[in-house]
Structure 1
Amino acid sequence: MDFIKYRKISFAFSTIYIIIGLALILVRGLNLDIDFTSGTMFEILSENFISDEDIRKITDDIDAQMHINRLGENNSTILLKTAKNLSTEELNVVKAKFEESYGIKSEMITSRTIEASMGSEIRNKAILATLISIVGILIYVSLRFKLDYGIAAIVALFHDIIFMVASYSIFNIPINSSFIAAILTVLGYSINDTIVIFDRIRENLKLYPNKTTYDIVNTSVKQSMARTINTSLTTLTAIVILYIFGVNEVRVLSLPLMIGVVIGTYSTIFIASPLWYMIRSKKEEAK
């Protein structure tokens, strides 16, 4: 397969997908969990299905705009989210109503409240951690390779981050602190894949000095393809198993990891390598 030949298609796909995601952010905003805003969340484990209408009969007195989400097998886990910081009395009222109406034991109903200042601090630290990671990766790649490799790698990483955010926007998935942990994990995973291909490109440039840059990049990607796909499939298999059989906390982390691994593999092959080729070609033309 000629990976460089189809670079415009991959660039166009990523651009359109990201534009759709960013447009939806402007229209309806991101579905931020209380980790990044403030408010109260209930997690209710129910053996029986409870309709949204019945839930609102309980929650409307507290907040008519209560956000309802469902997780788990048969939607057995109900997540209720409100932007209000509920008092202990209000928390107890909601729990008591679910206990009385549906026989749900008190230990099956948990709640947590995040203050506005705490949510802001978590959000700022998450952004800082991501930026520090990107700077560290840029320094590492620039020291190990030439600057053009570093630029291509960092652009690909930014692509991964924006692509993940766009995915969460398009599918309206709640963004919480686990999303940031997944972002940092995916950055490391993606740069590792990218470095493997860049290493192969650097070796092939020395081995085949008479070959064109175009052929070198295509050859290097093909040589690394089996390793990249096998690693990704192995990782995805483990994450999918965790998502299917894990508890809710594990699922919350597994979902962005699944998305990130797919995006990271895609960007390594179809974004980072063609981008390096374009940068290299411009340098060769300028000579």
Structure 2
Amino acid sequence: MRLLKIVPDNTNIDFVRLRFWAFGLTTLLTLAAIALVPLKGLNFGVDFIGGITIEETFPTAPPPDKVRAVIDALHYGEANLQSIGDGKTVSIRLPKQEGGPGKTNEVVKGVEAALAKNFPGATFSRYATVDGKVSNELKFRGVLAVVLAVIGICLFAIFRFEWQFGVSTGVAIMHDVLMTVGFFALTRFEVDLNIVAAVLTIIGYSINDKIVIDDRIRENMRRYRKMDMREIINLSVNETLPRTVMTSLTILLALFSLLFLGGHVLRGFTAAMILGVFVGTYSSIYVSSSLLITLGLRAEPTPDKPSKPNAASGAERVGPGRG
């Protein structure tokens, strides 16, 4: 017995009515995200730029200028500082040092000793180092993985459904990816390999939701061939809405738990995933589905491509109102 039903099964929401507002909002947010990247830049981690990252935890949040002054006095190069969480943990990024692992250990111990001396109670958390050549290769492979994922998904949608589905899916996924990139440019969260994994996971979540809705649209196109395309899309989205909402809520419960309890190391990954759930759900309903109308998708069979016989093809149904 169901004790809680968040979304009724018989919803009749006219989603398509707001498609032009959604297209305008999507365009505005996409342009803003693209502009943020050159204006603010991405805070690439050691994975992508090479060098040494040292994390130090202090009893209380230290003054950044004082921490920078202590590190600059060691003459290891220009330091990039970033406060994490409540400010008590500071990430210190230093340029790659010549001299191999021995020099790296010397730098880490030097920074640790200097901070412990000037900030009693400060403790060393961890450090990471990546060679510049390796970091460039990781950056290339990370971008390539995202691009190939998007292309593969679009091709699947084209061959599985119609070309309109492939185009609308590609537009929606690129919207999701650009929103995530813009979010990291705005918040200055560190972009490392974990974030690439988050972006790929967001793509996977988004395409799962989109394919479910697209499949229902295609079923209803065969079932109600004389129904207006607006009504078919509204009907399909409403029929899949309970599944979409429940899936999103259960994922968000796990992600918010991870955000608050997973520690600062996973905070960027978790924040990206939370954003991806909201953005992916929005784009599935208001971008991908509604764009099918603009692309000219029709339920009626065309002369050069007759539809397959369907026992229910003669059925007609009055769908959601056009509003």
User: TM-score under structure 2 normalisation?
Assistant: 0.81
**Equivalent runs, 1:141-220 vs 2, <5 Å:** 141-220=157-236
1:80 to 67, 88, 92: 92
Native 8 Å contact 2:36 2:186 kept in 1 = yes
1:100 aligns with 2:113: no
SS at match of 1:35: helix
**Structure 2 counterpart of 1:260, one-letter code:** G
Helix, strand or coil at the partner of 2:44: coil
Find the counterpart in structure 2 of residue 11 from structure 1: 23
What is the match of residue 37 of structure 1?
Answer: 49
1:231 corresponds in structure 2 to 247
Structure 1 residues 282 and 39: alpha-carbon distance in aligned structure 2, compared to 1, 3 A threshold:
farther
Residue 284 of structure 2 corresponds to residue 268 of structure 1: yes
C-alpha root-mean-square deviation of aligned residues, in Å? 2.3
Aligned residues: 284
Larger % of helix: which?
1
Q: Which amino acid is 1:170 matched to?
A: L
**Pairwise CA distance, 1:185:** 0.7
Q: For 1:117 and 1:145, how far apart are their aligned partners in 2? A: 42
Deviation of 1:124 after TM superposition, in Å, equals: 0.8
Please name the residue that 2:40 is paired with.
Answer: 28
- List aligned pairs for 1:107-146, cutoff 5 A: 108-146=124-162
Deviation at 1:174, TM superposition (A): 2.2
1:56 touches 1:64 (CA, 8 Å); kept in 2? Answer: no
Aligned to 2:308: none
Q: What's the CA shift for 1:169? A: 1.7
Distance 1:24 1:133, change over 3 A: closer
- Contact conserved, 2:58 with 2:122, CA < 8 A, in 1? no
Pick which of 237-246 and 56-65 moved more. Answer: 56-65
State the Cα distance separating 1:18 from its structure 2 match: 2.1
**1:91 aligned onto 2:104:** no
Supply the AA of the counterpart residue of 2:27: T
Describe the SS at the equivalent of 1:25. helix
| Contact 1:85-1:114 at 8 Å conserved across structures | no
Shift of 1:98: 1.6
Gaps of 5+ in 2: 1-12, 304-323
Cα distance in 1, alignment partners of residues 173 and 202 from structure 2: 9
Give the Cα–Cα distance (whole angstroms) in 2 for the partners of residues 111 and 85 of structure 1: 14
1:206 CA drift (Å)? 1.8
Cα deviation for residue 75 of structure 1 reads 2.5
Once the two structures are superposed, residues 194-231 of structure 1 have per-residue CA deviations (whole angstroms, 9 ceiling, x without a partner) of 01111111111122222100111111112212211221
Classify the secondary structure of the residue corresponding to 1:49.
coil
Distance 1:23 1:136 in 2: 27
**3-state SS of 1:209 partner:** coil
Question: What is the distance in 1 between the residues matched to 2:211 and 2:264?
Answer: 34
- Between 161-170 and 75-84, the greater mean CA deviation after superposition: 75-84
| Deviation per residue, 1:54-75 (Å, 9 max, x gap) | 2122122236752222223x33
Distance 2:260 2:222 in 1: 46
Moved more, 134-143 or 184-193: 134-143
Q: Which has the larger radius of gyration?
A: 2
- Determine what percentage of the aligned residue pairs are the same residue: 29
Q: Which runs of 5+ in 1 are unaligned?
A: none
Q: Which residue number in structure 2 is paired with residue 67 of structure 1?
A: 80
**What is the deviation of 1:283?**
10
Query: Superposition pairs for residues 267-286 of structure 1, below 5 Å?
Result: 267-281=283-297
